[in-house]
A and B are shown apart, each in its own frame.
Chain A
Amino acid sequence: MVSFAVGLTKNLPDGRVMRSFVENHDLVIWRSVSGQLSCWLNRCPHRGMRLSHGFVRGEALACVYHGWHYGKDTACRYIPAHPDLDPPGTIKTMAFRSFDKGGIIWVNIDNKKDEPIIPNNLLSVRSLEFRCPLEMVEAEIPEFEYHSAKKGLLNLKIKKQGFGKWIIEILGQGLYMHLFLHKLPSQKCAIHALSNDNVSSEQRKDMSRLLEHLRYVSEAKYKVLAA
């Protein structure tokens, strides 16, 4: 199974927690204070609380319900109700392989080694959630047209690059945007977008507007279809 892009590296700073989904698995993804990334099933073994509501304490993730701490190795390290207890090694969360590469956070739910091929020097554009299914967006991308306020109708060259991965080249400007599509539950999806490193921050703002337009068109079509 391939690795799934679940977010932009830059959107999960050290000491922060986020929730994501891969293939209907509810996941918590967090980065320790020293910067280590972990991805676990989003469920505290104690009483089932979603760990994505928790908080990072140093190198551990603490559950918000009773404050149990889990280390990067998934083992429960500390139970606040029993401060002197050394928690039994059997109390563990369930981990999935996760890593940062090329500005993207990747998750591999069957834990097989799979290194996505992605240039290392990309710049983050943004992550955007769409209230329509991924298939809808995939169908929309090849047809997509965009009128920029400054440059008029852009000449786009759009290429599918593999599973959930597209490249949009803005011809005449030599600018590339890389899109990573991410399926979410409840008929939603997200796009995590990056650009080549020759793209200025102003141009990345334009790309971000282009993405918003893609979202607008896809969601509008979905509304018509769903009605």
Chain B
Amino acid sequence: MNAIEQAMQYWYPIGMLGDLQRSETRKTRLLGMDIELKTEQSGLISVFHQKKPWNTKSAYGHIWTSPSKMPKPLFDVPEAGDHERRFVPCGSVRVRCSPLRAVENFLDVAHFPFVHTDILGAEPHTEVEPYSVNIDETKDEVIATKVKFYQPQAAKSASDGIVTDYVYRVPSPMNALLYKTCPNRDDVQDVIAIFVQPLDEETCDVWPWMALYDDQSTMAEMIEFQQLIFLQDRSVLENQIPIKLPLDPKMEIPTRADLTSVAYRRWLKKHGAIYGAMVSSTDDAWVAAQ
């Protein structure tokens, strides 16, 4: 199975449910293929590539599609059934980077003080304490637990700095979720996800989605907060060389703080999930960058 065939087995987000107009056709792209997202007058949604229909489904505030006739099941987010939460789809951000780099950045806390200065982190609180990373064998997911980080403003609703606890889940190569300390309640955790739509190997639309316990902020405020964070991420994501995610351990230098990234890269390699990855250091684009 080559990179694109492997990638074609999954579901991908291509639009926000609340954002579609009746009797409307939108054009977008997935895995280098042009597709059309059609909403009928009746509200029925369908997706076509070269006039052929693809599978679609609605979940977690988004429309998902897959080029495969028999896609792998979409991952489960149990919190999506919790009606005490507010569900916040945030729209999309176009990023000129590999979809895999976008996911890896989402799994990283060490950049908070430098990229999200005075919001998700601040010097001198830069230390990343040891945490655990596993592969959940039954669900086949990368899981990082006991990640702790000091944050000046962990969420829109936070008024003071707190040490935030994080759990990360990567249920499929281009989707990731985090569970973090909720600033208002200590018995529950907020959920933030990024669903990544790979337009091609070097461009993606990132669809953040949140399921929060926040009864103070308006929807617009919560979206604005998440968009600000993501625009800050984009400024680094569009400036990493090479654009594709390197899977050869010789190409970049991880430390203990990067354990999640190391596990993610290994897991991608094991699955042959290399759409958006650079597999070897003999790749021309890598050699040219030296």
On chain B, the residues within 8 Å of A79 by CB distance are: 255
Distance from A105 Cβ to chain B, minimum over Cβ atoms (Å):
22
Instruction: Name the interface residues of B75-129: CB closer than 8 Å to any CB of A.
Output: 108, 110-111, 113-115, 123-124, 126-128
Q: Is B44 an interface residue (CB 8 A)?
A: no
On chain A, the residues within 8 Å of B137 by CB distance are: none
> Is the beta-carbon distance between A67 and B114 smaller than 8 angstroms?
yes
Q: Is B171 an interface residue (CB 8 A)?
A: no
Which of B11-19, B45-53, B210-218, B239-247 lies at the interface with chain A?
A: B239-247
Q: Is A26 an interface residue (CB 8 A)?
A: yes
Residue of A nearest to B242 (CB): A48
Q: Is A83 an interface residue (CB 8 A)?
A: yes
Instruction: Name the interface residues of A26-47: CB closer than 8 Å to any CB of B.
Output: 26, 41-43, 45-47
On chain A, the residues within 8 Å of B235 by CB distance are: 53
Q: How far is the CA of A80 from the CA of B127 in the complex (A)?
A: 6
Q: Is B257 an interface residue (CB 8 A)?
A: yes
Q: Is A49 an interface residue (CB 8 A)?
A: yes
Distance from A57 Cβ to chain B, minimum over Cβ atoms (Å):
10
* Known A26-B241, A45-B252, A46-B253: A65·B114 in contact at CB below 8 Å: yes
* Known A82-B256, A83-B127: A66·B110 in contact at CB below 8 Å: yes
> Is the beta-carbon distance between B257 and A81 smaller than 8 angstroms?
yes
> Is the beta-carbon distance between B126 and A80 smaller than 8 angstroms?
yes
Q: Count the B residues whose beta carbon is within 8 Å of the partner chain — how many?
A: 28
On chain A, the residues within 8 Å of B110 by CB distance are: 66, 80-81
- Our pick among A24, A47, A83 for the contact of B240 (Cβ within 8 Å) is A47
Q: Is B33 an interface residue (CB 8 A)?
A: no
> Is the beta-carbon distance between A48 and B126 smaller than 8 angstroms?
no
Q: Is A64 an interface residue (CB 8 A)?
A: yes
Distance from B134 Cβ to chain A, minimum over Cβ atoms (Å):
21
Instruction: Name the interface residues of B136-185: CB closer than 8 Å to any CB of A.
Output: none
Distance from B227 Cβ to chain A, minimum over Cβ atoms (Å):
20
Total number of residue pairs linking A and B with CB closer than 8 Å: 72
Q: Is A171 an interface residue (CB 8 A)?
A: no
Q: Is B1 an interface residue (CB 8 A)?
A: no
> Is the beta-carbon distance between B241 and A66 smaller than 8 angstroms?
no
Q: Count the A residues whose beta carbon is within 8 Å of the partner chain — how many?
A: 24
Q: Is B70 an interface residue (CB 8 A)?
A: no
> Is the beta-carbon distance between A48 and B114 smaller than 8 angstroms?
no
Q: How far is the CA of A79 from the CA of B239 in the complex (A)?
A: 20
On chain B, the residues within 8 Å of A45 by CB distance are: 252-253
Q: Is A50 an interface residue (CB 8 A)?
A: yes
Q: Is A220 an interface residue (CB 8 A)?
A: no
- Our pick among A24, A50, A91 for the contact of B239 (Cβ within 8 Å) is A50
On chain B, the residues within 8 Å of A66 by CB distance are: 108, 110-111, 114, 257
Q: How far is the CA of A24 from the CA of B287 in the complex (A)?
A: 13
Q: How far is the CA of A64 from the CA of B239 in the complex (A)?
A: 11
Distance from A102 Cβ to chain B, minimum over Cβ atoms (Å):
31
Q: How far is the CA of A85 from the CA of B240 in the complex (A)?
A: 25
Residue of A nearest to B236 (CB): A65
On chain A, the residues within 8 Å of B289 by CB distance are: 26, 43
Q: How far is the CA of A48 from the CA of B236 in the complex (A)?
A: 10
Q: How far is the CA of A91 from the CA of B246 in the complex (A)?
A: 17
Q: How far is the CA of A48 from the CA of B104 in the complex (A)?
A: 13
Q: How far is the CA of A43 from the CA of B290 in the complex (A)?
A: 9
* Known A43-B289, A48-B246, A65-B111: A82·B255 in contact at CB below 8 Å: yes
Distance from B239 Cβ to chain A, minimum over Cβ atoms (Å):
4
Distance from A128 Cβ to chain B, minimum over Cβ atoms (Å):
25
On chain B, the residues within 8 Å of A46 by CB distance are: 252-255
Q: How far is the CA of A83 from the CA of B290 in the complex (A)?
A: 29
- Our pick among B113, B242, B246, B290 for the contact of A67 (Cβ within 8 Å) is B113
> Is the beta-carbon distance between B115 and A64 smaller than 8 angstroms?
yes
Q: How far is the CA of A66 from the CA of B255 in the complex (A)?
A: 11
On chain A, the residues within 8 Å of B246 by CB distance are: 48
- Our pick among A41, A80, A91 for the contact of B253 (Cβ within 8 Å) is A91
Distance from A204 Cβ to chain B, minimum over Cβ atoms (Å):
35
Among B111, B127, B235, B246, chain A packs the most CB atoms within 10 A around the CB of B111
* Known A64-B115, A65-B114, A81-B127: A47·B239 in contact at CB below 8 Å: no
A91-130 vs B, Cβ < 8 Å mask (1 yes, 0 no): 1001000000000000000000000000000000000000
Task: List 8 additional A-B contacts (Cβ < 8 Å) besides A67-B114, A82-B257.
Answer: A26-B289, A47-B258, A66-B108, A66-B114, A67-B123, A80-B113, A81-B255, A83-B124
Q: What are 18 A-to-B residue pairs whose CB atoms are below 8 Å?
A: A26-B241, A26-B289, A41-B290, A47-B240, A47-B258, A48-B241, A48-B246, A49-B239, A53-B236, A53-B239, A64-B114, A66-B108, A66-B111, A66-B257, A80-B110, A81-B255, A83-B124, A85-B255
Taking Cβ atoms with an 8 Å cutoff, the residues of A that contact B are 24, 26, 41-43, 45-50, 53, 64-67, 79-83, 85, 91, 94
